[in-house]
Amino acid sequence: MKTMKTIFFSTTAIAFAALLTLSGCTKHEPFVNIELDCECGTLNLDGRDLTVRLAEGYAPASDLSPEEPLLWKYFVVADFRTENEVTYHAPSHDLEFSVSFASIGGSTTLDAATALHVKEIEVPNFDEEWTISGGTVKVVQTDSIHILTFTDVQVGNNDIINADLTIVPQ
């Protein structure tokens, strides 16, 4: 009988240890919310700094002679979510800026109402073009970088956009 109790308790202890091992806590690394930031400049919308996710520029037809104006296109994407929305992982909500103009190089200042296009994009299916009523867009081009500056760009709801962006052209 004593052997039976020993076997029973040994079997129970092994089963209990196996159960603890199988049902133990699985440790995971803590979640880190990664924010995309190209670290290529600043963009401010009515006193609120927005994270710039992308800033790029390129010349689609770069095979022209140096005397001919070259069409340049610039695209900037900024995170439009509030700090609270970013913290709690709200779906993507961005502002997309695009500028297209012909240039021979150097410095160019443009009227924002005609040269700049701003679109608000929110997941899953919101896409609205903003009306621009004033401000300037300035581009300073060197061989290795372009500086894109928005100064006092006024959008439809009277918000003001200012930006200083450094772009490495492609």
Q: Report pLDDT digits (tens) over 68-102.
A: 788 899 999 999 999 999 888 889 999 999 999 98
Q: Residue 150: phi, psi to the nearest 5?
A: -105, 125
pLDDT in tens, 139-169: 999 888 999 999 999 998 789 999 999 999 8
Contact 134, 153 (CB under 8 A): yes
pLDDT in tens, 12-54: 656 656 555 555 566 777 766 666 788 999 999 999 999 999 9
Is residue 63 pLDDT above 90, yes or no? no
Residue 113 DSSP symbol: H
**Per-residue model confidence (pLDDT) at position 50:** 96
**Domain boundaries in the chain?**
41-167
